[in-house]
Structures are given as C-alpha cells and as structure tokens.
Chains A and B, each alone.
Chain A
Amino acid sequence: MLLPFQITQNNYPVPSTADSSTDSGATTATQGITGAGATENGIALITGAPAMPQLTAQIMGFGSSSTLTVDWRLAVTSERTERGTKDNIFLPVQAGEGGSGGPGIVDNVPIGTPWDISGDYLMSPQSFFGGNVTIYYRIKKADGTYIEPAEQTLTTFKIRGLNPLDATAKNFIITGLAGGANSDVFQFACAQVQEESLDPARDTVYNQFNSGGAAAELPNFTGPDGWGIAQLDKPLGVSANTEEVYNWQLNLNKFYQEMDEKIAVQQNFVSKIAAAYPTDTDAQNPPTTTLYGTSISALAAGAITLYNGAGGCPYTTIGGVQYQNPWTFNHSPPAGQPKWQYTKNEQDYLHQVLQQYQGATYHE
C-alpha cells in the first residue's frame, strides 16, 4: 500500500554563493527532502555549524483524531564504500548504556504527528552520522494489531554535508588552541589543516566534505584511510570514527590529539640527543630557525613533519634505537655548518604547509 508521506529537514542550510559546498550560515525554513512536495532531491544536509539535519517523517492524510499509530525506525549505511560497515547505525536505540537498534526497536508515534527523527540522535552511539538512510514503518491499530503483515519500507534518502565557511573553521582552530601548550607548533595548525583537505581542482580549503565533482558533499577521503577536514588517518592508531567523519569539529579535536602525540615523539627524540651530549648546550637547545622563508621552532618543524611521516628522513641511532627524524644533530659539524640540520620528508610536507601559512587567505 503506497501512502503519501513527507521527510523534511527543519534546518536546511543555504549554500554560499561563492562555493556551493560551503554553508553560508543562513538557515532556511523547513525543506522537503523526499516525498510529497520535496525540493531537495532526496539529500538532507549536515550544516556547516556543524549540526545534524533536524528531520521529521510523517505519513500524510491522517488527522490528529486518528487512533492509528506508527512504528518507525531507520537504518543508515555508509555511502562511502571505503568505510565498510563502520558507520552503519539503527535508530531508535534501546534505552540504557550500549543500547542497540534494529528490527523491532521502534518509536511508536500517533499517525497524525510527525516522527521526530532528530529526537533520537541523543541516544545514538554516534552523535553525527551520514550515508544512505532507509525509513521503515508499520501502522498499528488501536487494538494493537497491525494493518500490514510486516514492516514496510517507506522511502530512502541520503545524509551528506556542507563545509564550514573558511573563517568559521579558522576561528574554531585558533580559539580552541588559544592559551594552550605548544603554541609554537599550533600557530601553524590552520595552514596544516588547509593543506590536508584542500581541493586543488576547486581551490577550496577546510573540506570536511568534498567540495565538488561526482562525490560532492560526501565525506572527504584520500586513501589509504584519510578522512575529513584534517584527513585523519588512523589517529593514535585507530581509524577515524563516524562522528569524526561527519563532524568537522570532532575531526579537528582528534587532529589536536594526534599532533600532541607527534610533539611528544619529537620531544622524546630531542631528549635522547640531549642525554647523549649532556655538555653540549646546542644539543640541549634545538634552534628556532628559518625554513622555507618562515621562522619556525625545531619542535614545530619536527612535529608537523612527523604528522605526515618521517619517510625520506635520515636515521639517528641512540642507545640501540633507530630514530627516523627530520632533524639530525652533529656534535662536531664541518666549519660553517649548524649542529642541528633539518631534512625534508618524502612529501616535502613542511614546505607545503608553510606555503599555505605564507599565502593563507580566506576563500569566501
């Protein structure tokens, strides 16, 4: 039995006129995603705030006086096949810690009232998610029996996303790091994130979602496992989770943690050098120097390079451990040569980040 229905988003974002993959920040009124009167071609959008789409579902044609109710549920599978089943979820979920969803776990709502899908987000194991959404329903009579013999599929649609304005992303990064430790490293964070998720085809940056092309509005991915605005690639040894793939702020929070780790690795290396040359004051004090036209501390240059990887960098053996690091220390260098020397990695990554730093401008 085909019934008229509506799936609507109450906080549908307005794309920027300069770049349609970016949320301008102005929210429209309710937009139909799919069903009767739909205007958005079956795609609901995570906003650039970021905020999940505020979604409702309703079967039309029944007034508030109807005694019928509807058992509602939905299932989400990832549009990005690279994610496998990692982002698959069901809503609603059972109450209680670790509650799961699935067939039989439903919201029962009077048929004349919209099902507030976003009301279930709080209970979801992942506060942000996206992909292919299937809505299931089954209409229940007042006596508890069902009209249909089994659960029915109402419709399918997609949840994708828009990017934040460049200024919004940059402000979040700067504000989030203000007053924190290692400011000499994080002063380059905006440039680093710009470099990570820039789309050279469209000259856009801060892309949590693709800014154009056939995969527009889908999570930004670069193999083997890089996701989102900071292209998280198994940060701290664990693949980016669903929230980090669909929420640019959570993605950046993990980026900070991963940079903290690289800072610790760099500091550990430097401490080994210092211990190996306890009377050499240069060994105790890696320099701030100029690299690629930018004044940068040794710690920053090292940690930023390590975020990309030390491949192509030289090895230093201390105490039986091989350190592969962009910095090397020579206690007795040739005349005119510094003791600390920086060597670029395979990707010349620091150079690219500092190019972004030097030329960083807003794109809207």
Chain B
Amino acid sequence: MKTILCFLIMASMVGQVFASNDPVVDFLAGPRPDVRLPGYYPSDKVLRLDLDLQGNGQIETLLTLNRDRDGKEGNRWVVYKKTDSGYQVVGNMTFSPSRFYLGQIDELGRYGLVTFWPGGGGKGIFLAYIYDGTSIQEQDVAKVTGQVDPATGDRLQSKAEKKYLYDKVTKGDDVLKEIDAKELAAKYGLKIESKTYKQAMQDGFQGATSQ
C-alpha cells in the first residue's frame, strides 16, 4: 500500500501559539482557507470536534466552517492542541464530520482517524490521519474498487467499509458541536451578511467582507 507522507502545513500558522483560551477566536482570526468564498452568511456554522487523536487521553480540538468543504472529501479542519499558554495549530485534516473512524488502524498498526473519500460509482479510498503529537501524516489505508460478487451481482462490501464506515464508525451527530451564525455574531463579533450564501454566489459576492 502506497504510503503518502504529507505534512499539511497552513502557511504561517503551524506551531504558532495563540494566547486565547478559545480556539474559535484563533480560528476566525486565521487565514481563510482557499475553499471559503468571501463573507459570512446566516447559514454558516463553526463546527467543533474535541477528539483524542492519539488515544493517549489528551484531547485535541478540530474546527471548521460548515462550508469549508473540499468537495466529497469532506471539511477542511484546523487541528489545535492545548498548551499551557493557549492553543497551538498542529496541522490540517480533510474529512467528513458525518461519519469517520477514530481508533486503532490495523492496516497501519497505528492509532488515528480514518475517512472515506468517494470517487463516484461506489468507488473511493480510505485515508488515515496520524497525529504523533507534533505533526499530522496522511496515509492510504484501503481502496474501494466497486468489486462485484459474481454470485449475487451485488457490490461487495470490503472489510474496510464494514469497519470504518459502519461497524466502528463515529457519527458526527453524536459528537459534533455547532456554533451558529447568530452566536458567531454575538460572541465573536463576526459580521454576518444579510443575504443568503446562495444569493451572494449569484451576486458574485459583491459587497461581502473577505474575512
């Protein structure tokens, strides 16, 4: 299995420690990801996951905007670790909050987060994010090729699908926290546009503030 060692670095942010005790402050002040178009809208939400990414009892905080979507691959998350003086960005992950796996990854012999990136027609790949306390590595876990059971004509569900998408999956509904636009405005002073995101797209984001 091809191993992809990929250090996902957010230009100036990794390693930087923010003095705030609220990582959402840091997240909103940070550089806008390339997938996020200008402005903030009434349907926007900051999504938060507090996960033990290493299985060592230490909780890391992951933040994204609900529409920081990298297509089918999922949301672009900024990963923070708590330090004595605040929160430190340790890297990025891209996965869907709807369903993901966190635990021991037999194929790699490591503990980490596994996500499924669909490729259309039931095909796709399982990808793991391994956080070692310092940086995040991305590694291939398994491929789903749409293989068919010759006896039934049905698509064969692979062992990886069974484990990572169903049997041992974590469902976002159970663990996700959301901060809606109203609270983002009230608590964090974010300017929320009066038009909807859809309307703003139709208008070419004219007048929208960039951050």
Contact = CB atoms under 8 A, between A and B. Distances in A.
Interface of A: 82, 84, 195-202, 212-214, 222-226, 231, 233-234, 236-239, 257, 260-262, 264-265, 268-269, 306-311, 317, 320-325, 346-349, 352-353
Q: Which of B116, B117, B146, B165 has the most CB of A within 10 A?
A: B117
A325 B33 CA distance: 12
Interface residues of B, number: 57
Nearest to A205: B121
Interface stretch (B19-27, B55-63, B65-73, B183-191): B65-73
Given A261-B201, A322-B34, A213 B116 contact: no
A237 B11 CA distance: 24
A213 B161 contact: no
B63 to A, nearest CB: 14
A201 B98 CA distance: 26
Q: Which of B37, B71, B99, B201 has the most CB of A within 10 A?
A: B71
A322 B117 CA distance: 21
Nearest to B144: A222
B124 A222 contact: yes
A269 B34 contact: yes
Contact of B67 (A197, A236, A268, A323): A236
A225 B173 CA distance: 12
Nearest to B196: A236
Contacts of B83: none
29 contacts: A196-B121, A198-B120, A200-B121, A222-B118, A222-B122, A223-B165, A223-B166, A224-B99, A224-B115, A225-B98, A226-B118, A231-B72, A231-B118, A237-B68, A257-B201, A260-B201, A261-B37, A261-B67, A265-B34, A268-B34, A306-B35, A306-B70, A308-B120, A309-B74, A310-B70, A311-B127, A320-B11, A347-B123, A347-B124
B180 to A, nearest CB: 12
A264 B119 contact: no
A355 to B, nearest CB: 11
B118 A223 contact: yes
Contacts of B146: 200-201
B95 to A, nearest CB: 8
A306 B76 CA distance: 13
Contacts of A261: 37, 67, 201
Given A308-B120, A320-B11, A320-B12, A233 B96 contact: yes
Contacts of A309: 70-74, 94, 117
Given A237-B43, A311-B70, A346-B73, 15 more contacts: A82-B99, A195-B121, A198-B120, A199-B122, A200-B155, A212-B153, A225-B96, A264-B201, A264-B205, A268-B34, A307-B71, A308-B71, A309-B94, A346-B117, A352-B120
A352 B67 CA distance: 26
Contacts of A306: 35, 70-71
Contacts of B134: none
Contacts of B44: 237
B197 A236 contact: yes
A18 to B, nearest CB: 15
B144 to A, nearest CB: 9
Given A213-B154, A310-B70, A320-B12, A347 B120 contact: yes
A250 to B, nearest CB: 14
Contacts of A226: 72, 118
Nearest to B68: A237
A261 B66 CA distance: 14
Contacts of A268: 34, 37
Contact of B121 (A198, A213, A238, A311): A198
A200 B122 contact: yes
Which 4 A-B residue pairings sit nearest by Cβ, starting from the closest?
A309-B73, A237-B67, A309-B71, A347-B119
B10 A322 contact: yes
Contact of B34 (A214, A238, A324, A348): A324
Contact of B117 (A225, A269, A311): A311
B125 A346 contact: yes
Contacts of A196: 120-121
B71 A264 contact: no
Nearest to A268: B37
A199 to B, nearest CB: 7
Contacts of A352: 119-121
B153 A213 contact: yes
A238 B69 CA distance: 10
Given A311-B94, A322-B10, A199 B121 contact: yes
Contacts of A265: 34-35, 37
